[in-house]
Structure 1
Amino acid sequence: MSRRVALSLTAGVVVLGGAGAFALAYAGDQPPALAHSTARYTAPDGDRDGSLSFSTEVTASGGVKSVKVLAYPAQSALAEKAPTAEEMAAEEPAICMVVDTDTARCTYTVRVTAAEAASSPQGSWHVAVLATAADGSTTLDTRAAGFTLRTR
C-alpha cells in the first residue's frame, strides 16, 4: 500500500470516527421519540364497564422518566388550544415497561362506566402524551392517537 493511500485511509477513518462521535453526542441531545401509538375504546355493554387503552413506545437517550396521558374530545375548548406541557405534567401517568436502556413500552388503561360514556361527548377524541426523558427533556404530542367514543 502506498503511503498516500495509507494517509487517505487514515484521514477517512478519523473523519468517520469524528462524525460518529458527533452523531452520538447529537443523539444524546434529542428529546424523547414516540412510536407505534394506538388508542382503543371499548364501550360499556350492559352491566359490564368499558375501557380506554392507549399504548406507545418511547425512546429517549438515557431512558424514560415518565409518560403522562390525556384523552379529550376533538370538539372541545381543549382541542381548540391544545394542552400544554405544563398542563400535561399534572395528568395521569402511563405504566412503562423497560425494553432496553433507551426504550420503554408504555400503556395507560382507564375503566369507563356506562354513566361516564353517556355523559361524555360522542364522536372523535384525541390522546395527548407528554414523555419525559431521564435527562429532563420532553416531547409533547397533542394528537398521538385518536379514537371514537360511541355508546351502544
Structure 2
Amino acid sequence: MSKRILFSSLIGAVALGGVAAGSLALASAPTEPTLEHGSARYTAPTDDSEGSLTYTVDVSDDSGIRSLKVLAWPASSKLDPTAGEVRSADENAKCRSTSDETARCTYGEKVTKQEAADLAKGTWHVSVLATAEDGGTTFVARAATVDITG
C-alpha cells in the first residue's frame, strides 16, 4: 500500500513540475504591448504660426514601454507600410510613464505653410510600432486617420 502512495506522489510531483515549468516559460515570453485611446490631429499653419500633425496614444505592457515608432502617410498614396518599414523609420514618439506598465506617447511634427502647401490633401493614415522593454512588439497598420486640409 505504501508503494502505491509513493508512486502516486511521485506522479503528482512530476505533473506539478511540468505545470510549473510551463508557467515559467509563459511568464518569461514577451507579451505584446496594447494601445488605447489613440488619436491624430492636424492643425493647419496660419500667417502667425506653424501648424502641426500629432498622434497621441496610451501604450501598456507589463514590462514597460521602450519605444513607439510612427509613420503618417496619405491614403491616396496607396502605401501599405509593414512593421519592418515602420521599425526603420526615424519617426519616434516621445513617451512618458504614467505608471509602471503604461506610457502616454506623443508624436508631433511642425508643419510650415510651404510644407502644408506640398502635403497631399485628404485622409492620412498613421501606422505605429510599439516595442516593450521585454522585446514584445505590436504593429498597427492603421492606428488612426486624420484629414489634411488646405
Structure 1's consecutive aligned runs of 4 or more residues displaced over 3 angstroms after TM superposition are 25-29
Which aligned pairs between 1:1-152 and structure 2 lie closer than 5 A? 25=26, 29-78=30-79, 82-91=80-89, 92-151=91-150
Structure 1: tracts of 5 or more residues without a match: 1-17
Cα shift at 1:90: 2.2
Deviations 1:45-100 (A, max 9, x none): 1242100111000011211010001110011131xxx2111111122110001111
Equivalent pairs counted in the alignment come to 127
Q: How well do the aligned residues superpose, as a CA RMSD in angstroms? A: 1.9
Checking the alignment, whether the CA contact within 8 Å between 1:93 and 1:108 is kept in structure 2 is yes
2:93–2:106 contact (8 Å) kept in structure 1: yes
Bigger-Rg structure (1/2): 2
After TM superposition, give the deviation of residue 30 of structure 1 in Å: 2.8
CA distance in 1, matches of 2:141, 2:111: 22
- The normalised TM-score by structure 2 is 0.78
Cα distance in 1 for partners of 2:81, 2:99 equals: 30
